[in-house]
Amino acid sequence: MRGADLIRRPMVVAGVLVAVVLVVLVRFTAEQAPDSASTPRDEVALARIVEFGSDRCVPCRLMKPVLAELRATYGPALTVDFIDVMKDRDAARAHDVAIIPTQVFYDRDGRELARHTGFIPLEEIVATFARHGVALQAGR
């Protein structure tokens, strides 16, 4: 029986190691994919803003026209996404969102530049990107 244990033990250890590696890869992939619950990122965009909110939240509803104006004004230079945290609670947890609306500003490489909670006017959004070196131009 001792010979069988010598064969079985390395196989169990290898199985556990494979399982650990798979769990780490799945978690890493999920953390690296903020777009998973939103539209695909436009590769020519200079920046991206994601609003975490809800259709039931009054300040979030006030942000809808601002987000629409951002899309219309800055076109392909800025990717604008909205994630409804009531429908996708995992996205809120993955991005440490505790208050809605929360806007998360990203550069072209997907690095977080800044965060804001509550209502924010379009001009302040553009100014926030500018403070972080992203100069958005209308019509681009």
Domain ranges of the chain: 1-32, 34-131
The CA distance from 106 to 123, in Å, is 17
CATH class, range 34-131: alpha beta
Q: Is the pTM higher than 0.75?
A: no
Spell 94-132 as b/e; 16+ CB within 10 A means b.
bbebeebbbbbbbbeeeeebeebeeebeeeebbebbeee
Query: For 34-46, what is each residue's pLDDT tens digit?
Result: 443 444 444 468 9
Contact 71, 80 (CB under 8 A): yes
pLDDT in tens, 98-127: 999 999 999 999 999 999 999 999 999 999
Per-residue b or e along 40-62, where b marks 16 or more CB atoms closer than 10 Å to that residue's CB: eeeeebbbbbbbbbbeebeebee
